């Protein structure tokens, strides 16, 4: 990582954000400075949550032709299968940042209320808007499409210990997450509530990963960075010692959409820099053959 960017939090605290902005040369560096400053400026931390399985595997970043999505993570395998519409055609598996933010909202609400029943209404649209997704026009249609795919798909998680199933052909929700069209194609309120799938809720409740809402907002609609941040939030605070993670292993977990490891490495490093900018306590170093993750304080202080 760029030496200045690796010490961005220290630079902002000691010399101020204007000096950090002055030293940022590229568009990416300026983005890192603003993300770090946004998180450092947050007065009160707000919690979000994700199931730990999504710290070790991930959704696609782009649309997939296949109806079954399989990803390998650290001692974990996820299988996700597309649902079918009323004509029997595959709806496709959820993908991208919109799908991730919808799921983050559902998971966070479930943990905060300790209930499978998630109230939607205005709260979901406000939360998504706070994350940088203004629900209108094209964004409205894209969010609705991801909500439909999330509602229809099924998923199974396996551990590497004897192919033990953690979650057997569950899903995300029972029923569907929908929005209703009104005159002039303007978005209406979400349906009042949705029920989280019982198996998914149990897995989430048993293994939640606390996240910073300010960090997610600073990341915005960048699906790879969201995945890297959740992975760091899960792994770093639980480590007992410095742990190298090879580039092939990183490629297997995060490399969807990259044809070559070389291309993936460049994209991952840019995403890692931004993820570390919103996680000031993260201790990560980059080597030629791997990155080394080191025991770190949690991504967010315990509530």
**HEC profile of 131-151:** CCCCCCHHHHHHHHHHHHHHH
Tens digits of residue pLDDT in 7-31 = 888 888 888 889 888 988 899 888 8
For residue 302, what pLDDT is reported? 53
* CA geometry: angle 260, 254, 238, nearest 5 deg: 140
- CA atoms of 117 and 139, how far apart (whole Å): 26
Please give the pLDDT value at position 40.
Answer: 85
pLDDT of residue 183: 38
Q: What number of other Cβ atoms are within 10 A of residue 168's Cβ?
A: 11
226 within 8 A of 97, measured Cβ to Cβ: yes
Residue with tokens 């969807």: 256
pLDDT in tens, 56-66: 888 999 999 99
Q: Answer for the pair 220, 131: CB distance below 8 angstroms, yes or no.
A: yes
Least confident of 36-45, 66-75, 189-198, 228-237: 189-198
**Average per-residue pLDDT for the chain:** 85
189 has a pLDDT exceeding 70: no
Written in H, E and C, the secondary structure of the chain is CCHHHHCHHHHHHHHCHHHHHHHCCCHHHHHHHHHHHHHHHCCCCCEEEEECHHHHCCCCCCCCCCCEEEEEECCEEEEEECCECCCCCECCCCCHHHHHHHHHHHHHHHHHHCCCEEECHHHHHHHHHHCCCCCCHHHHHHHHHHHHHHHHCEEEEEECCCCCEEEEEEECEECCCCEEECHHHCEEEECCEEEECHHHHHHHHHCEEEEEHHHHHHHCCCHHHHHHHHHHHHHHHHCCCCEEEEHHHHHHHHCCCCCCHHHHHHHHHHHHHHHHHCCCCCEEEECCCEEEEECCCCCCCCC
Q: CB count, 10 Å around CB of 128? A: 20
Are residues 50 and 230 in contact, defined by beta-carbon separation less than 8 angstroms? Answer: yes
Q: Which two tokens stand for residue 203?
A: 């897995």
Token code pair at residue 60 = 């696609």
Segment 221-275, tens digit of pLDDT: 999 999 999 999 999 999 999 999 999 999 988 988 888 888 999 999 999 999 9
Give residue 290's pLDDT.
Answer: 93
Task: Give SS3 for 226.
Answer: helix
Q: Is the pLDDT of residue 88 over 80?
A: yes
């Amino acid at each position: 990582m760029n030496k200045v960017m690796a010490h961005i939090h220290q630079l902002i605290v000691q010399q101020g954000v204007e000096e950090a902005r002055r030293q940022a040369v590229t568009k990416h560096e300026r983005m890192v400075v603003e993300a770090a400053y946004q998180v450092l400026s947050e007065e009160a931390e707000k919690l979000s949550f994700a199931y730990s399985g999504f710290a070790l595997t991930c959704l696609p970043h782009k649309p997939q032709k296949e109806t079954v999505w399989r990803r390998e993570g650290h001692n974990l395998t996820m299988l996700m299968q597309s649902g079918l519409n009323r004509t029997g055609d595959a709806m496709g598996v959820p993908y991208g940042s919109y799908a991730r933010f919808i799921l983050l909202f559902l998971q966070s609400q479930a943990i905060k209320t300790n209930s499978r029943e998630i109230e939607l209404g205005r709260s979901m649209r406000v939360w998504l808007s706070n994350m940088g997704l203004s629900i209108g026009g094209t964004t409205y249609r894209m969010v609705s499409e991801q909500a439909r795919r999330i509602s229809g798909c099924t998923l199974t998680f396996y551990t590497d210990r004897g192919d033990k199933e953690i979650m057997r052909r569950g899903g995300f929700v029972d029923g569907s997450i929908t929005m209703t069209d009104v005159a002039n194609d303007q978005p209406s309120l979400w349906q009042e509530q949705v029920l989280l799938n019982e198996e998914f809720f149990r897995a989430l409740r048993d293994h939640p990963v606390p996240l910073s809402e300010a960090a997610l907002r600073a990341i915005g609609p960048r699906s790879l960075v969201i995945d890297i941040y959740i992975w760091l939030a899960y792994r770093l605070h639980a480590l007992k010692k410095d742990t190298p993670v090879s580039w092939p292993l990183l490629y297997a977990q995060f490399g969807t959409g990259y044809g070559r490891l070389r291309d993936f490495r460049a994209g991952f490093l840019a995403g890692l820099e931004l993820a570390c900018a919103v996680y000031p306590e993260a201790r990560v170093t980059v080597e030629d053959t791997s990155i080394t993750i080191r025991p770190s304080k949690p991504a967010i202080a315990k509530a």
